[in-house]
Structure 1
Amino acid sequence: MSHIPLLLRNCLSAPAGHGEGGAPPATLDFENPKDNLYAFGKLWATYADAPVFSAFHGTMLGMIGSQRLKPLFGYTGFGGFQA
């Protein structure tokens, strides 16, 4: 079993500059690699102990040759996400 997810969760549980109780700062500094990675993880999942369940759908676009982007196929899915 890999310990990397637990290590990442512990290291990124609060972005740099968090005060007492892990309260988030007013803004994230995207020049700070830790804040940048924290924000990316929050877009996809949660750093909490329990996973977040969600559903998603969309259209995959592709460029064939030199043509403009065209819809190729639709997709739908769901999952439990946790960083």
Structure 2
Amino acid sequence: DHSEELVQDLAEVCKKKKKSRESPKTPPGSPSHQPPPPPPPAGPSGASGAPGASGSSQVPPTPPPPSSTSQESPFKCSA
């Protein structure tokens, strides 16, 4: 009997917790503050975008330096 009562109490507590959590969450505007969709996109795009962009942007710049050096050597040679 006690075990059953405990189970029922737990179920009730869970229901109450869920209800209390949901009701406060919804009214306060937690939903608007809870939008995980924006964060994920920002995370991946920011993470892959920032490092990727910086990396990809750094890649082009790196080649130019070598080309400029190769140009410099010919210039020096010709000079």
Could you tell me the TM-score, scaled by structure 2's length? 0.20
Structure with the larger helix share: 2
Q: Which has the higher strand share?
A: 1
TM-score, length of structure 1 as denominator length: 0.20
Q: Select the structure of larger CA radius of gyration.
A: 2
Between the two structures, name the one with larger relative contact order (CA 8 Å, sep ≥ 6).
1
